[in-house]
Structure formats: structure tokens, C-alpha cells
Amino acid sequence: MMSTLTGMLPLVLMFVVLYFVMIRPQMRKQKEHRTMIEALAKGDEVATAGGLLGRVTRLGEGYLTLEIASGVEVQLQRSAIVQVLPKGAINSAK
């Protein structure tokens, strides 16, 4: 019985290390991203996963409309937003 426990100890330790090094930080990032997506508001300046910068003009349940240039709007899934930029960041990027 004792040899079985000592034989399984490295496996259990590897799982614990894997949890704290990989799984837990990934879950925290997912929670932060979900919170950011839920907090989006009309007028926010955002960056998408594809590299587009734009201003949110309309919000829906799972989609939003992003103005990427004057008079040019695209519809995106909310999950495509990777970062909310500070106000005025788009004007300084041009």
C-alpha cells in the first residue's frame, strides 16, 4: 500500500504544478476577457483579434457594430474584441 502511494506521488505533484502553472492563469484570463466583453459600451474604442481599430456604434446580444473609418461600419462577434483602448487612442494612431 505504501509503495502504491509513493509511486503515485510524482503523478499527483505533476498535476498540481500543471494546474497552478497553466490551467489557473488561463481561467483567470478567460474571466477577465468575459468581464471586459460584458462591460463594452457605445463609444468605446477597441482593438479586434484581426487588428482592426474602431469605435463601437451599436451593441447586440452576441454582436456589435464597429466604425473603422468615417462612414464605414463592420459587424463583429463580441468575442473578437481583444482590448478596450483609452479614449482618443484611435486618433493618435492615424
pLDDT (tens digit per residue) in 20-35:
999 999 999 999 999 9
Domain ranges of the chain: 1-39, 41-94
The pLDDT score that the predictor gives to residue 91 is: 80
pTM above 0.75, yes or no: no
Asked if pLDDT for residue 92 goes beyond 90, the answer is: no
**What is the per-residue pLDDT for 1?**
67
> % helix / strand / coil in the chain, to the nearest 5?
50, 30, 20
Average pLDDT, the chain: 91
CATH placement of domain 41-94? 2.30.30
By three-state DSSP, how is residue 63 classified?
Answer: strand
pLDDT at position 37 = 95
The pLDDT of residue 34: 95
